[in-house]
């Protein structure tokens, strides 16, 4: 129970990577709060993950809603040990055909929302002189791909956000990190499909959960600043 007594918040925790990391932390004894915009997804995740999970509906692009989440956590638990800054969105479109509305939607969720959540978490953690924040980036934040201008830009921004918050938190015992995943098997798949997905070059959600727990359970004076997790077959390194 490596995270026993820890209070953790996961944004976008109703599905995919967020839910997987929430489950991994629960297995290690943490009390987990998951937030998202869609209550039905949160309720389904809560039913699947079991006891130890609290849910709150929140749009992370709306500052008062984010503030309310942290007020509730402090009222109910008196502390916050972990933030998994995971909520995000994306779509495919040529950069020169992109509307400002579409651009702004992605940047607001992926970067501005991440800032609001990290900022309010950091206020608590600086005051208590401890805490860990993990931002979920992407290898698109290191090497862009076509038809992804707002997503790529937002994930490059997450790298900068991580470094800035890590600098401002280090004198107060707060560690800030980023995970850059490659292709992840985020759709709902049957167990029979898992070996196929491995061969096709997807990181399984359970492996992301393991990585997050490893980063969260370092000694208090140690931070894994950044980690890249990707299938060994993904054409990311070198020129394939």
Residue pLDDT, tens place only, 68-83: 999 999 999 999 999 9
Decide if 234 is inside a domain.
Answer: no
- Asked whether 134 and 215 are in contact (CB, 8 A), the reply is yes
Domain region containing 129: 7-229
- Asked whether 65 and 58 are in contact (CB, 8 A), the reply is yes
Decide if 2 is inside a domain.
Answer: no
- Asked whether 83 and 118 are in contact (CB, 8 A), the reply is yes
Cα dist. 136→126, 192, 193, 231 in Å?
21, 28, 25, 17
- Count: domains in the chain: 1
Decide if 221 is inside a domain.
Answer: yes
The pLDDT of residue 192 = 59
159-183 pLDDT, tens digit each: 999 999 999 999 999 999 999 999 9
pTM of the model: 0.94
Decide if 104 is inside a domain.
Answer: yes
Decide if 239 is inside a domain.
Answer: no
CATH number of the domain that residue 220 is part of: 3.40.50.720
d(CA 213, CA 21): 8
The pLDDT of residue 236 = 85
Say yes or no to pLDDT of 150 above 90: yes
Known catalytic membership, residue 151: yes
Catalytic residue among 70, 100, 151, 236: 151
Decide if 238 is inside a domain.
Answer: no
């Amino acid at each position: 129970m490596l995270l026993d007594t820890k209070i953790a918040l996961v944004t976008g925790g109703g599905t995919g990577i967020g839910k997987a990391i929430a489950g991994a932390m629960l297995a290690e004894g943490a009390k987990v709060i998951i937030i998202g915009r869609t209550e039905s997804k949160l309720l389904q995740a809560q039913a699947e993950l079991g006891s130890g999970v609290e849910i709150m509906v929140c749009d992370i692009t709306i500052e008062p809603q984010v503030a309310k989440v942290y007020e509730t956590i402090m009222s109910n638990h008196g502390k916050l040990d972990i933030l998994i800054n995971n909520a995000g969105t994306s779509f495919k479109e040529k950069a020169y055909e992109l509307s400002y509305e579409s651009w702004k939607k992605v940047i607001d969720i992926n970067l501005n929302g991440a800032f609001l959540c990290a900022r309010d978490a950091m206020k608590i953690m600086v005051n208590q002189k401890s805490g860990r924040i993990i931002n979920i980036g992407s290898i698109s934040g290191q090497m862009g791909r076509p038809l992804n201008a707002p997503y790529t830009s937002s994930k490059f921004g997450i790298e900068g956000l991580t470094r800035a918050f890590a600098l401002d938190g280090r004198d107060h015992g707060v560690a800030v990190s980023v995970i850059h995943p490659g292709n992840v098997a985020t759709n709902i798949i049957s167990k029979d499909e898992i070996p196929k997905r491995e061969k096709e070059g997807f990181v399984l959600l359970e492996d992301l959960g393991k990585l997050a727990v490893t980063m969260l359970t370092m000694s208090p004076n140690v931070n894994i600043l950044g980690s890249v997790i990707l299938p060994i077959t993904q054409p990311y390194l070198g020129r394939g």
